[in-house]
A and B are shown apart, each in its own frame.
Chain A
Amino acid sequence: MEVITKLLNNYYYFAAMILFVIGFHTMLTHSNLIKKIIGMNIMDTSIFLFFVSIGYVRGGRAPIIQEGAGYLYVNPLPSALILTGIVVAVSVTAYALSLIVKLYAHYGTMDADEIAIIRAREER
């Protein structure tokens, strides 16, 4: 029972973990490169959500400080960090996609297994 309440109280962490595992699994098991990249993005997003949820304070406002107003603010640091994280993830995605385009031009497929087969055939 206690476990379930704990989970329910921390459901956003839980959701982030599920997303992380989905992304991780997709990246490792799918041979389609585009799907791998999608998995990578799901994984990254899960971490971003996780990070942001850490910084969230229930009932808090955006951290634009007004002197003397006495509002509760959310922690701005995770959001700021995640902004950097998103930039990094986008650039990795862009780079990966450009590589996939090139690979497609060379092999005519986006499937890692098929590429391996083509290469093995050529080397023989």
Chain B
Amino acid sequence: MSLHLPVLIVVLLLAASYTVPLLDRYRRGLTLPVTILSLITAFISSLYLLYLIGVQGPFVYHLGGWPPPWGIELYIDYLAVYMLIVISSIGLLVIIYGAKDLLHEINEEVLSWYYTLYLLLMASMIGIALTNDLFNLFVFVEISAIASCGIISAKADRRCIEASIKYLILSALGSGCILLAVAMIYMITGNLNFDYVAAALPEALKLYPYNIVIALGLFVVGFGVKSALFPLHVWLPDAHSSAPSPSSAVLSGLVIKIYAVALVKLLFRVFPPQIFEAIPILDVILFLSVFAVMAGSIFAMVQDDLKRMLAYSSIAQIGYIFMGIGLFGGRALTGGLLHIFNHAMMKSMLFLAAGLIIYATGIRNLKDLKGIGVRMPWTMGAFAVGAFSMVGIPGTSGFISKWFLALGALDLNRPFYVAIILLSSLLNGIYYFPIIIDAFFGTKVDPVSEFRDVPALMLIPVLILAAGVIFFGFYPKPLLDLVNKAISF
């Protein structure tokens, strides 16, 4: 039974996602409990998988009992389980929040369809994390692309529709690149399984170097578009800022990172290390990540829409993760992967906090947020924790990932990147702190006449995430152990 667990998580979420619309027709009250219950199950199963690989080590699962090279294989290693835990925990908290928030953001008729898409998105992300097969990876990538566009366009607002078509087209572009790369790899190796491809590639590199280089380039572009690496980020600000707040939270918190993880798996598990000598792909990623970090922060500074600012900040933060990939070889990748979880916590919390503010007051513009902290001390307190973590104040989890990124840069004797990290932290401070200051201090203009009280169910996930940011800032050991095992390729 426990051996089938990896695929059961995906199957369970898929099944739940198809059950929800049916339930919507006959037992509308059950849709939300089913959604939440399936995510809780996924979370618990992820923890059990962690225990399992702790006991017996990483293992493979053959889908339908077909061994490779014919069948699809799932590979349950620490990296996959790490992502599983990140996805299921954050996903669970966000949907608990969303239960109330979505009522006012999207029409009631499509509410259960939203849950369908949400579960589909979770299933596909977990699939991406688990799969050990190139084509299967592509299929999950496509599912998550459609599902993530879907949870943006679920809001019947024309800006959302416009943002989601922009996202969809660029995402399809990325998928095309990925599929072409898969085809090229298949052409020269005759395999789709990661391990088989990895075994065949060093030999193939001598015969068909260009194909492999092009495939690698296409993978970087494809996953780069999807995870909004700097020059390919154009879709993100619109998509993440106009979407309903729970969607923004998972999109910024989880979706853009799972593609980075997929790229990590491909780069370090599939492609032979010799290829990094042939073409400086890591340096290209590093170069782009520097631009991402700086440009994202600078763009964020000039925004006046709260969620748009957070979206630009995500571009900068994804830059950190790619910087960790680009600085492969030292402790930087640890920092990059840690930042996946840390940023998932911070950014989804910030988006949810922004959602709370919009829920309570309807205000999105930063200039109108003066004095909001007095009305909503808990929300803005959590927001402040997230902002501190973004800046990298010690005692928050953001500090830990920056610490490892910087150590990794020093390991490779590249202090320049430490300076970039610090400079962008300063920029983060410059755009996050005024919000907090305005919220708590200064002119006490009553923000709005109409003020809706925030339900506790919406506040609790935000507070849990804030507590998580502080907890993992002081006790990062469990995460760190997990990540260090995850990157021992």
Q: Residues of B contacting A61 with CB < 8 Å?
A: none
B173 contacts chain A at the CB level, 8 A cutoff = yes
How far apart are the CA atoms of A36 and B146 in the complex, in Å? Answer: 17
Question: How many chain-B residues does the 8 Å CB contact rule pick out?
Answer: 28
Contact with B along A12-34 (1 / 0, CB 8 A): 00000000100110011000010
Cβ of B63 under 8 Å from chain A: no
Q: Given the interface contacts A92-B146, A103-B161, does A85 sit within 8 Å of B169 by beta carbon? A: no
The closest CB in chain A to the CB of B173 belongs to A27
Question: Which one of B178-186, B357-365, B402-410 contacts A?
Answer: B178-186
Quick one: which of B126-149 are within 8 Å of A by CB? 135, 138-139, 142, 145-146, 149
Interface status of B81 (Cβ within 8 A of chain A)? no
Q: Which of A49-106 contact B (CB under 8 A)?
A: 50-51, 54, 77-78, 81, 84-85, 88, 91-92, 95-96, 99-100, 102-103, 106
97-121 of chain A: CB within 8 A of chain B: 99-100, 102-103, 106-107, 112, 115, 119
Q: Decide if A92 touches B176 in the complex (CB within 8 Å).
A: no
Contact: A47 with B146, CB < 8 Å?
Answer: no
The complex places the Cα of A39 from the Cα of B43 at a distance, in Å, of 40
Contacts of B139 in A (CB 8 A): 84, 88
A33-B165, A103-B158, A106-B158 as given contacts; A78 in contact with B186, CB under 8 Å: yes
B186 touches A92 (CB 8 A): no
- A90–B149 alpha-carbon span in the complex (Å): 16
User: Interface SS of chain B: helix, strand, loop or mixed?
Assistant: helix
With A47-B179, A51-B183, A54-B187 known as contacts, the answer to whether A102 contacts B161 (CB < 8 A) is: yes
Asked if B180 contacts A50 (CB within 8 A), the reply is yes
Of A43, A54, A77, A99, which is in contact with the most chain B CB atoms at under 10 Å from its CB? A99
Within 8 Å by CB of A47, from B158, B165, B168, B180, lies B180
Chain A residues near B175: list those with CB within 8 A. 88, 92
Question: Is B162 interfacial (CB 8 A cutoff)?
Answer: yes
Q: What separation, in Å, do the CA atoms of A115 and B165 have in the docked complex?
A: 12
* Residues of chain A with a CB closer than 8 A to B164's CB: 99
Is B389 located at the chain interface by the 8 A CB criterion? no
A23 to B168 alpha-carbon distance, docked (Å): 15
A43-B158 contact, Cβ under 8 Å, with A51-B183, A95-B146: no
A81 touches B142 (CB 8 A): no
From A24, A43, A84, A95, B149 is in contact (CB under 8 Å) with A95
Residues from chain B with Cβ under 8 Å of A44 in the complex: 172, 176, 179
Q: Is the CB of A99 within 8 A of B168?
A: yes
Q: Does residue B424 face the partner (Cβ distance < 8 Å to A)?
A: no
Q: Which residues in B have their C-beta under 8 angstroms from that of A95? A: 146, 149-150, 168
Q: For residue A37, which residues in chain B have a CB less than 8 angstroms away from its CB?
A: 169
Distance from A57 Cβ to chain B, minimum over Cβ atoms (Å): 12
User: Would B146 and A99 count as touching, CB distance under 8 A?
Assistant: no
A92 to B165 CA separation, bound complex (whole angstroms): 11
B396 interface residue, CB < 8 Å from A?
A: no
With a cutoff of 8 Å between Cβ atoms, the chain A residues found around residue B186 in the complex are: 51, 54, 78
Which residue from chain B places its CB closest to the CB of A20 in the assembled complex? B180
Residue picked from B161, B180, B183, most chain A C-beta under 10 Å: B183
* Contact A81 B172, CB 8 Å, known A91-B146, A95-B149: no
What residues of chain A lie closer than 8 Å to B183, measured between beta carbons? 47, 50-51, 54
A43 CA to B171 CA, complexed, in Å:
13
Q: Which of B373-401 contact A (CB under 8 A)?
A: none
Q: What residue in chain B is nearest A28 (Cβ atoms)? A: B173
Query: Does A88 lie within 8 Å of B142, measured CB to CB?
Result: yes
Is B334 engaged at the interface, CB distance under 8 Å to the other chain? Answer: no
The residues of A that contact B297 with a CB separation of less than 8 Å are none
Is B46 located at the chain interface by the 8 A CB criterion?
A: no
Contact of B176 among A23, A36, A99 (CB under 8 A): A23
Q: List 23 A-B contacts (CB under 8 A).
A: A20-B176, A23-B176, A24-B176, A28-B173, A33-B165, A40-B169, A44-B176, A47-B179, A54-B186, A78-B186, A84-B139, A88-B139, A88-B175, A91-B146, A92-B146, A95-B150, A96-B165, A96-B168, A99-B149, A99-B164, A103-B158, A103-B161, A115-B162
Given contacts A92-B145, A119-B159, 5 further A-B contacts (CB under 8 A): A24-B176, A27-B173, A88-B175, A99-B164, A119-B162
Q: Which 7 A-B pairs have the closest CB atoms?
A: A106-B158, A88-B142, A99-B165, A43-B176, A54-B187, A51-B183, A47-B179
The chain B residues found within 8 Å of chain A, CB to CB, are: 135, 138-139, 142, 145-146, 149-150, 153, 158-159, 161-162, 164-166, 168-169, 172-173, 175-176, 179-180, 183, 186-187, 192
Q: Which residues of A contact B (CB under 8 A)?
A: 20, 23-24, 27-28, 33, 36-37, 40, 43-44, 47, 50-51, 54, 77-78, 81, 84-85, 88, 91-92, 95-96, 99-100, 102-103, 106-107, 112, 115, 119
